[in-house]
Amino acid sequence: MTKDDLADTLASARKISKTEARAMVDDVLDAIAAGAATGEVSLAGFGKFSVTKRPARAGRNPRTGEPMFIAASRAIKFRPAKAFKDRVNA
């Protein structure tokens, strides 16, 4: 499912225009990204988004096999809620 598919579903369920639905989807995704960047976003019945820190490390270039340095970074992590997992596995 894409953002457009999600907006179309929202538009038909709420009887609003696709433009309004797309704006709502964009606003929700922006809010999740902003919240996750500053801490943790918890959506009851869906899951939690959080940021983890990846330390700097040594690695290898997969193409050449040459050793390389991989800089420290931050990664987003999603942990689904039990209700969400149960619904997907039903």
Domain co-membership, 48 together with 86: yes
pLDDT of residue 38: 87
Whole-number pLDDT of residue 34: 92
Residue 82: other Cβ atoms inside 10 A: 9
Domain range for 4 is 1-38
pTM over the 0.95 mark: no
- Positions of E strands within 1-90: 40-43, 47-54, 57-60, 67-70, 73-80
Same domain, 18 and 50: no
Reading across the β-sheet that carries 73-80, which strands appear in turn? 40-43, 47-54, 73-80
* pLDDT tens by residue, 4-30: 999 999 999 999 999 999 999 999 999
Number of domains forming the structure of the chain? 2
Regarding whether 88 and 49 lie in a shared domain, the answer is yes
Which residues lie below 8 Å from residue 61, measured CB to CB, with a gap of 6+? 67, 68
pLDDT of 75 reads 92
Tens of pLDDT, residues 46-80: 999 999 999 999 999 999 999 999 999 999 999 99
- Provide the pLDDT for residue 50: 92
Strands 40-43 and 47-54: antiparallel
